[in-house]
Amino acid sequence: MRLVVLQTGLIALVWTSGALATPLVAEPIESRDLDIRQMLKCPDKYTSKNGLNFTTYCEKNNPWNDAMEPFQVGSMQECMERCSRYWGKGEGCFGVVWREDNYCWLRNSTTSTRNMVNDTGIHAALVENGNMNSLNEDCPADHLSTHTLDNGLGYTVHCGKVIGTFDICWQGYPSCNQSPFVGFYHAESLEECLQFCVKEHPLCRAVSYNPGLEIGFANCWPKTGFGNTLDTPPSSMGVLHSATITSMDRVDTNCPKEDKYTATGNKNFEIHCGQLNTVTNITLLHRQNITSCMDACATSDKGCVGVVFDSSMQGGYQNCYLQNTTSVVLDQAQATYAVLSGTSLPSSAPSGTGAPSGGGGNNNDDSSKAWIAGPVIGSVAGIVFIAGALLWWRKRKNAPAKQLDYMPAHAYSPYQGQMANMPPTELSGDHATEMAAGTENKAATKYAHNGTPKPAPQELPT
250-275 b/e (C-beta count within 10 Å ≥ 16 → b)? ebeeebbeeeebebeeebebbbbeeb
Establish if 437 belongs to a structural domain. Answer: no
Please check whether residues 280 and 231 belong to one and the same domain: no
> Does 322 or 356 have the greater pLDDT score?
322
User: Which pairs count as long-range contacts for 11-20, CB under 8 Å and 24+ apart, including other chains?
Assistant: 13/377, 13/380, 13/384, 14/380, 17/380, 17/383, 17/384, 20/387
Establish if 444 belongs to a structural domain. Answer: no
For residue 278, what pLDDT is reported? 83
The answer to whether 46 and 80 are in contact (CB under 8 A) is yes
204 has pLDDT over 70: yes
pLDDT in tens, 436-462: 233 333 333 233 333 334 444 444 444
Name the pLDDT band for 277 (thresholds 50, 70, 90).
confident
Please check whether residues 230 and 146 belong to one and the same domain: yes
Establish if 390 belongs to a structural domain. Answer: no
410 has pLDDT over 90: no
Please check whether residues 123 and 138 belong to one and the same domain: no
pLDDT in tens, 21-56: 333 334 444 444 544 455 579 999 999 999 999 999
Please check whether residues 147 and 215 belong to one and the same domain: yes
For residue 194, what pLDDT is reported? 97
Name the pLDDT band for 279 (thresholds 50, 70, 90).
confident
Please report which residue ranges of 356-427 form alpha helices under DSSP H: 363-398
For residue 276, what pLDDT is reported? 86
Domain stop point among 102, 127, 152: 127
Please check whether residues 219 and 274 belong to one and the same domain: no
* Region 355-376 average pLDDT: 34
Q: What is the bridge-based pairing of β-strands 117-118 and 122-127?
A: unpaired
CA distances to 122, 211, 268, 305 from 136, in Å: 37, 6, 52, 46
352 has pLDDT over 70: no
For residue 440, what pLDDT is reported? 34
Surface-to-core class of residue 364, CB atoms within 10 Å of its CB (0-12 exposed, 13-18 middle, 19+ buried): exposed
300 has pLDDT over 90: yes
> Does 346 or 372 have the greater pLDDT score?
346
- Put residue 231 in one of left, alpha, beta given phi > 0 → left and psi -120 to 50 → alpha: beta
* Region 170-193 average pLDDT: 96
Q: For residue 287, give the CATH number of its domain.
A: 3.50.4.10
Range with the largest mean pLDDT of 101-110, 249-258, 358-367, 402-411: 101-110
Q: Of 170-179, 322-331, 394-403, where does mean pLDDT reach its minimum?
A: 394-403
End-to-end CA distance of the chain: 70
Please check whether residues 140 and 234 belong to one and the same domain: yes
pLDDT in tens, 243-262: 999 998 889 999 999 999 99
* Number of domains observed in the structure of the chain: 3
Establish if 226 belongs to a structural domain. Answer: yes
Name the pLDDT band for 240 (thresholds 50, 70, 90).
very high
Please check whether residues 232 and 148 belong to one and the same domain: yes
41 SS3 class: helix
> Does 324 or 410 have the greater pLDDT score?
324
Please check whether residues 230 and 183 belong to one and the same domain: yes
> Does 100 or 34 have the greater pLDDT score?
100
Distance, CA of 359 to CA of 132 (rounded, Å) = 52
The domain of 179 spans: 133-248
Residue 57: CA count within 13 A, CB half-sphere: 20
Please check whether residues 119 and 150 belong to one and the same domain: no
SS (H, E, C) 312-360: CCCCCCCCEEEECCCCCEEEEEEEEEEEECCCCCCCCCCCCCCCCCCCC
For residue 418, what pLDDT is reported? 38
Please give the mean pLDDT across all residues of the chain. 76
Name the pLDDT band for 412 (thresholds 50, 70, 90).
low
Distance, CA of 94 to CA of 52 (rounded, Å) = 10
The answer to whether 284 and 321 are in contact (CB under 8 A) is yes
For residue 345, what pLDDT is reported? 64
